[in-house]
Structure 1
Amino acid sequence: MRHLLAAAALALAASPAAAADRWPAFRGPTGDGVADAKNPPTTWSEKQNVLWKAPVHGKGWASPVVADSRVWVTTADEVRGNEKVKVPTTGGPNKGAVKHVTFFAVCHDLATGKVLHDVKLGEEADPAFCHDFNSYASPTPALDGGKVYAHFGSHGTWCLDAASGKVIWERRDLKCDHFRGPGSSPLVYEGWVFLIFDGFDQQYVVALDKHTGSTVWRQDRRIRYSTDNGDLKKAYATPRVLTVNGKAQLVCPSAEATIAYDPRSGAELWRFHHLKKGTMNVAAPPVAGFGLTFLVTGYPGQLMALKSDVTGTPGKDAVAWDTDKNIPTRPSLLLVNDLLFLVSDGGVATCLDAKTGKQRWTERLNGQYTASPVTAAGLVYLFNESGKATVIRAAGDYEVVATNDLDAGCMASPALVGDTLIVRTKTHLYAIGKK
């Protein structure tokens, strides 16, 4: 019996399901890419330290989310026509090569990778144009209280029961012209689901009742844009709730400005016009620390350290420091202790002193980057679009711990659950851990 118990304990320790940790939304349980893993893997390949590997049908860049020993991803099956399609340059229907798209939420068992649910949520004929670089399933779903909130931008939002996969409610009436496809992920906080719709034609933030899907409040952005070009008004940022002086703020970056709202009422708390005019395609949620809120403007890139206690319409004097060197437009920031880590779309990794903005180091990595970095146990994980992952020390001196390769690259950001990495490549879902 003693030997059987020892064997069972060893098997449980080797299983990713043994950890009770969660990664319930984009950027993890704290919304900033930080995990509490104590012994995460540093080396892997297709033949090493892969606990399981499962194909994912369709196309989707949504990151995996994890709760209750289940991994959820969203994806979209596309039916394409044969004609060549030009990228649209003006507003309008922007119909593309995709003639029909079907939206899915897929659930895998965390221990084995077995598919538990593959739920068809809805479909759409002749959908609005989505750039090939993007996908119809780029927003990351959110998990909360045994529910799954699967969001596909203006194409629809669904709430599912995580245990049965049954749809509880849906919304197909929240519209905007994404112009290049959706990207902003939902945020669940207390009793609400917060969604950002920053499109070519209209820009607004909406709060839904998480139990019923009904609209609680909606706020149009009313940003004083420097252009009439709707392409420069669109953005893809995910909101984040930050607590400042004991008060919750729903911080929602957008093109040319970042606005904070009272999450309960939708009342505007402050709006900050970015230092650079014409900034568009903002994607990264804010991170905060040391009395500062760190904002990335998208393109053209700028990183700003905004004083967190701002109100009203703060000006340039509310910015403690800023920089425009090697700023990402897609990967999110990572704050570890007093260091800010960032990797540009073109693969330049940088470490800054978070309090002053002073550069500690900068190094060029291989490849292009869309996935956001994550950190645990003093390590930073950087996944590129061609399959290479670089593990570095979360330190003020540059040190590569390991480089690893998978068959396909990452558009989605990884999840860290217990001591297991959940990685979604363009074709498969992996659980990576020390065997």
Structure 2
Amino acid sequence: MTAIVAAAIPTFGLAESWPQFRGPRGDGIVTEGNPPVQFGEDKNLTWKTDLEGKAWSSPVIADGTIWLTSAVEIVPTEDERVELLRKTENEERQFKQLAIAKAIELKVFAVDLETGKLKQTIELTTVEQPDAIHSLNSYASPTPVIDGNRVLCHFGTFGTFCIDRTNGKLIWERTLPLKHAVGPGSSPIIHDGKVILIQDGLERQYVTALNAETGSTEWETDRPPMDAPTGDQKKAYCTPIVVTDSNGREQLLCMGSQWMVSYNAKKGEEFWRLYHGKGFSVVPRPVFDGEAVYFSTGFGKPQLWAAKVDGSGDVTDSHVLWTVKKSIPAKPSPIAVDGLLFVVDDNGVASCIDSEDGTNVWSKRLGGKFSASPILANGRMYFCNHDGEVFVIKPGTECDIEVTNQIDGQIMASPAVIGDALILRTATSLYRFDR
């Protein structure tokens, strides 16, 4: 792991933590800081640090340290790969889209925010003959979450680990077996002293809360029944959000295949459920604007739905505001700001949608494939594609692409902003850019 220092470090502003997937608010919106608009391998680069292993998890940051998970794969030959896949429950026609390792070493890196130097490598565990994953996924895709002096690192069925970030020691670990089919994806959140995990696998779909201090199970609740021929169309990979409705109820919104469900975060009891159809393998994290929740329905034919959150029971026929069926992402999450929703679909079409009625304000093809969720910082949105292109767009009723930046490497992880610094993770490196 090496760091390339390319510029002096400027003093940054008040936003000093990025504790979870999609930032402090969990919606990709940064309220403080002024990250650079133009950047690249030789422009506004503060440092670049090479990373060991393969991981699509996003960085989380607190107290001058960047925390990242990674999986170092023992890669098989092609003949070994086919033989390993034959030992799984996958059909041979699926082999082309799958990847598998002989073993994986799960690790956590602590990187100094100021210098980019590796401060610590924490070896978590080695998993022999892990399950197969989709070739576009990694064994370390869920983003960790910071809670006080703890950092929670989740690898789906391969383990959940709580680390003391003051000394790097393991506090507790749990293994919650699950058949993901194509690898882990759901990121954990921390709420009211609980680690909330969406566990939507092939054979069982449920939501659980673990005690953040001990790892013990506080509650677990099964998902609503699903009408699907196989478990493949019941699985999902979403990350929950917490909202408060007009009645003062604090809700845990857990999007899944076929159903969006609201739970009582304290006990796991269901408040309401909404049937959204046959969508499955849901990835995008929902967003909430204080009145409605907006969510993508996942694979199949992705749709964007808007719904009120003040109901009880089955609200399918009463609380849906509108749906949009064109150019909706199956992987990147939306941004909601100033009465507008901004999305980019997996094939690179960005759209602006009126959040009141779902009408299309504009659409523009950016190009490339997209998985990372966009962020909004200092009045500009950052959209990152697989080819290392970062499109900086001003939010508004017209598509205003301010600049297109290019960095080396594949971008699958969502970016982070800390003060005036933009932190980007590629398949091989971690970057810091400053004005």
Question: TM bucket by the smaller chain?
Answer: over 0.9
CA–CA separation in structure 1 for the residues paired with 2:132 and 2:35 = 40
Match of 1:123 in 2: 126
Secondary structure, counterpart of 1:410 in structure 2: coil
Match of 1:374 in 2: 375
Match of 1:165 in 2: 168
Deviation (angstroms), 1:19: 4.7
Match of 2:23 in 1: 28
Deviation (angstroms), 1:90: 4.8
Match of 1:145 in 2: 148
Match of 1:6 in 2: none
Would the alpha carbon gap of residues 96 and 60 (structure 1) be closer, same or farther in structure 2, given more than 3 Å must change? Answer: closer
Secondary structure, counterpart of 2:318 in structure 1: helix
Amino acid at match of 1:285: R
Secondary structure, counterpart of 2:140 in structure 1: coil
Deviation (angstroms), 1:15: 4.3
CA–CA separation in structure 1 for the residues paired with 2:369 and 2:309 = 32
TM-score in terms of structure 1 length = 0.93
2:258 is the counterpart of 1:263: no
Say whether the 8 Å CA contact 1:290–1:355 is kept in structure 2.
Answer: no
CA–CA separation in structure 2 for the residues paired with 1:404 and 1:97 = 33
Amino acid at match of 2:248: G
Secondary structure, counterpart of 1:261 in structure 2: strand
Match of 2:3 in 1: none
Say whether the 8 Å CA contact 2:100–2:131 is kept in structure 1.
Answer: no
CA–CA separation in structure 1 for the residues paired with 2:192 and 2:120 = 26
| 1:385-415 Cα shifts (integer Å, max 9, x gaps) | 0110000111111111111000112100000
Match of 2:64 in 1: 69
Say whether the 8 Å CA contact 1:38–1:376 is kept in structure 2.
Answer: yes
| 1:237-257 Cα shifts (integer Å, max 9, x gaps) | 001111113221011001111
Deviation (angstroms), 1:261: 0.8
Secondary structure, counterpart of 2:253 in structure 1: strand
Map 1:45-194 onto structure 2 (within 5 A): 45-82=40-77, 83=79, 84-85=81-82, 90=90, 97-172=100-175, 174-194=176-196
Deviation (angstroms), 1:89: 7.2
2:279 is the counterpart of 1:295: no
| 1:27-46 Cα shifts (integer Å, max 9, x gaps) | 11001000023422100110
| Match 1:214 to one of 207, 216, 220 | 216
Say whether the 8 Å CA contact 1:107–1:116 is kept in structure 2.
Answer: yes
Amino acid at match of 1:320: L
Match of 2:285 in 1: 285
Match of 2:407 in 1: 406
Secondary structure, counterpart of 2:158 in structure 1: coil
Match of 1:4 in 2: none
CA–CA separation in structure 1 for the residues paired with 2:188 and 2:33 = 28
Backbone CA RMSD of aligned residues: 1.8
Deviation (angstroms), 1:108: 0.5
CA–CA separation in structure 2 for the residues paired with 1:268 and 1:352 = 30
Deviation (angstroms), 1:290: 5.1
Match of 2:5 in 1: none
Map 1:192-207 onto structure 2 (within 5 A): 192-207=194-209
Say whether the 8 Å CA contact 1:207–1:216 is kept in structure 2.
Answer: yes
Say whether the 8 Å CA contact 1:69–1:109 is kept in structure 2.
Answer: yes
Deviation (angstroms), 1:122: 0.8
CA–CA separation in structure 1 for the residues paired with 2:113 and 2:418 = 10
Match of 2:337 in 1: 336
| Match 1:246 to one of 228, 245, 248 | 248
CA–CA separation in structure 2 for the residues paired with 1:125 and 1:192 = 30
Secondary structure, counterpart of 1:385 in structure 2: coil
Say whether the 8 Å CA contact 1:20–1:68 is kept in structure 2.
Answer: no
Say whether the 8 Å CA contact 1:383–1:409 is kept in structure 2.
Answer: no
CA–CA separation in structure 1 for the residues paired with 2:329 and 2:430 = 25
Amino acid at match of 1:296: S
Deviation (angstroms), 1:288: 1.1
CA–CA separation in structure 1 for the residues paired with 2:99 and 2:377 = 41
TM-score in terms of structure 2 length = 0.93
Aligned length: 417
What percent identity do the matched residue pairs reach? 41
Deviation (angstroms), 1:260: 1.1
Say whether the 8 Å CA contact 2:14–2:32 is kept in structure 1.
Answer: no
Segments of structure 2 that go 5 or more residues without pairing to the other structure are: 1-7
Amino acid at match of 1:332: S
Amino acid at match of 1:191: G
Segments of structure 1 that go 5 or more residues without pairing to the other structure are: 1-10
Amino acid at match of 1:364: R
Secondary structure, counterpart of 2:326 in structure 1: coil
| 1:195-235 Cα shifts (integer Å, max 9, x gaps) | 111111111111000001110001111x3322131111110
Secondary structure, counterpart of 1:317 in structure 2: coil
